[in-house]
Amino acid sequence: MSDVISQAEQKMKKAFDVVKKNFSGVRTGRASAALLDHVTVEYYGTKVPLIQLAGISVPESRLIVVQPYDKNSVKLIEKALQTSDIGINPVSEGGKIRLPLPQPTEERRKELVKVLKKEAEEGKVAIRNIRRDAMTQLKKQKDAKEISEDAEKNQEEAVQKLVDRFTKEIDSLLKTKEKEVMEV
């Protein structure tokens, strides 16, 4: 396998991983610690990721519990959760913060599916851009007589197979996540 193909595969894998990570942040009806990955807390004048200030657990399917390491940070964490875009009202009780997840409405679930489709399409666009770059590199190598025309064609086919594989993986991931979001 040539450098161009292996580089393209690595980049496509990264693009797929980004889509996967973005999907995990989309709220279904189920609680997941990943919902809080992007929450930052203003702590002693610095923005600190919530994960560094508290333990996060999911004791049941509709509840996230945040256990701050420092009892003095409870109010700060609560404020950060209220101002974040997760849309869950924190309930503080005895040094813990509970985040009860409401059942999403039909309309909200449809909005989430649109968000998922947009994320998936962005991932596919990134993969197509990687293909374009790889094809350009192969053409340059052929023009510089580094590879033959046959080798260029074979490598172009290999790149296209990678594109097809990662596009299918994104579609499969989208289908699974869409089903998860729409289930009541």
Find the helix or strand (DSSP H, E) in which 17 lies.
helix 3-24
Confidence of residue 155 (pLDDT cuts 50, 70, 90): very high
Dihedral angle computed from the Cα positions of residues 71, 76, 78 and 82, in that order, rounded to the nearest 10 degrees: -170
Residues facing 60 on adjacent strands: 63
> How high is the pLDDT of residue 87?
72
**Given a cut of 90, is residue 59 above it in pLDDT?**
no
0.75 exceeded by pTM: no
**Given a cut of 90, is residue 61 above it in pLDDT?**
no
Query: What is the DSSP secondary structure assignment for residue 98, as one 8-state letter?
Result: E
| Structural domains of the chain, with CATH | 3-25+105-182 (1.10.132.20), 33-100 (3.30.1360.40)
**Given a cut of 80, is residue 44 above it in pLDDT?**
yes
> Is the distance from CB of 23 to CB of 12 less than 8 angstroms?
no
> How high is the pLDDT of residue 122?
94
What average pLDDT does range 86-112 have in this prediction?
Answer: 83
Handedness of CA 119, 121, 127, 132 (dihedral sign): negative
pLDDT one-digit tens code per residue, 111-133 = 888 889 999 999 999 999 999 99
The count of C-alpha atoms lying within 13 angstroms of the C-alpha of 126, restricted to the half-sphere facing its C-beta, is 19
Mean pLDDT of the chain, nearest integer: 87
**Given a cut of 70, is residue 27 above it in pLDDT?**
no
Percent of the chain with pLDDT over 90: 37
Find the helix or strand (DSSP H, E) in which 140 lies.
helix 106-143
pLDDT one-digit tens code per residue, 70-79 = 888 888 888 8
